[in-house]
Amino acid sequence: MSLEVEIAAGMAGFSPAEWDACACPEAQDGARPIDPFTTHRFLSALEQSGSVGPGTGWEPRMLSVRDGARLIAVAPLYAKHHSQGEYVFDHAWADAYMRAGGDYYPKLQIAVPFTPVTGRRLLTRPGEEARGRAALIQGAVQLAADNRLSSLHVTFPTEEEARTMAAMGLIHRIGEQFHWLNRDYADFDAFLADLSSRKRKAIRRERRRANGFGGDIVALTGGDLTREHMDAFWQFYQDTGARKWGRPYLTRAFFDIALETMAGDMLLVLARRGGRWVAGALNFIGREALFGRWWGAIEHHDCLHFELCYYRAIDWAIAQGLSRVEAGAQGEHKIARGYLPVATHSAHWIADAGFRAAVEEFVTAEARAVGEDIDLLTQMGPFRRTDPGPRD
């Protein structure tokens, strides 16, 4: 039987059970998903809160593949009217294309909005990987071509998915992030013992400064999270969003919905001084990793950002036996705190042949530069020279 590719205007077109059977089959027994970002509950929270949808520049066009009545593959697809909230930057591509007289927007994007976390983007039932991935990419490319759109972009897929898409003719782009890797450390001091003496002393000094801010720090998840905590974090998030992006990407309603449907997926690290919350870092919990997502503060205290975002995340990951902490996009300052560079991936289909050739040339040169940067920064890492970095 031939496969049928369909487009839905949002997550309401799928039941949680059928979407998650493709998005996180590893969690069907009630266990944690590898990451929560492609689950029905996370993507629905974005839509229901108005963080994506009309007026946001992120229009849901969820892609699905059916074999008869059976759903075998899905992908979070969006029509984009700008390049905000993606973290794989194509602003220069858009500018060049528009200066040449073309319309770069709208474009199509397979992605998790506002989430620079590597994970599966071509979501299939187990055993349907080959058929499902091929149908999803062919369907998305056909949708872009039929609507005379400039491009299709798949951001933060796994390396395996990126290579599969490259074999189908998409351009494979390499980026980098900084992750902390757990070497079965018994505690934070065991991690520090792997560092050079100078870096070890620097981190201890930062932690003393941070924890001397005049208050206390708590880590909350699951049923310990309340509306009061979300109210506080919303203030912090607004401050960071206003400074970084002009306005926050997420609405206040997103945090209310997440509290109701995703409390067990979140770890919120909060600092309190004088009876009020003054800073916080919100993480999401995966099966093997802790994903740092947003931070903010209404008071400045020396090194508190490093403590809440990096060191408390490491503490928690060690205690829970997680293999790594992913601290979000960019930030070479993370290296001194034990986070080392790793490659990230994206895939791109460009309609115009001439423009595609120019992008391919750029991406090839960029990949060489990124590879050299990863090698150099790894060598410069904080680990003792006799043991230059965490093992895989």
Q: What is the pLDDT of residue 93?
A: 97
How many helical (H) and strand (E) elements, i.e. helices and strands, does the chain have?
A: 12, 15
If the chain, 392 residues long, is cut into consecutive pieces of 10 residues, what is the mean pLDDT of each piece? 92 97 95 97 98 97 96 98 96 96 97 98 97 97 98 98 98 97 97 95 97 97 97 91 73 97 98 97 98 94 96 98 91 88 97 98 98 93 66 38
**What are the CA-CA distances from residue 79 to residues 63, 110, 149 (Å)?**
12, 9, 10
Would you list the DSSP string of 153-164?
EEES--HHHHHH
Give me 363's structure tokens: 């991406």
pLDDT value of position 332: 80
The pLDDT assigned to 245 comes to: 61
Report pTM: 0.95
Q: What's 35's DSSP letter?
A: -
Give the CATH number of domain 3-176+343-379; options: 3.40.50.1700, 1.50.10.20, 3.40.630.30, 2.40.50.100.
3.40.630.30
Distance of CA 362 to the CA centre of its chain: 24
pLDDT, position 243? 67
Class of domain 183-322: alpha beta
Q: Determine the pLDDT at residue 389.
A: 47
Tokens 């450390």 correspond to 185
Identify the H or E element spanning 145: helix 129-146
* CATH 3.40.630.30 domain range(s) in the chain: 3-176+343-379, 183-322
Q: Given this model, what pLDDT does residue 391 score?
A: 40
State residue 220's pLDDT score: 98
Distances (CA, A) of 40 to 26, 255, 287: 14, 16, 17
Whole-angstrom distance, CA of residue 231 vs CA of residue 214: 22
Q: What is the pLDDT of residue 388?
A: 43
Give the Cα separation of 340 and 335 in Å (integer).
6
Q: Are 268 and 233 in contact (CB under 8 A)?
A: yes
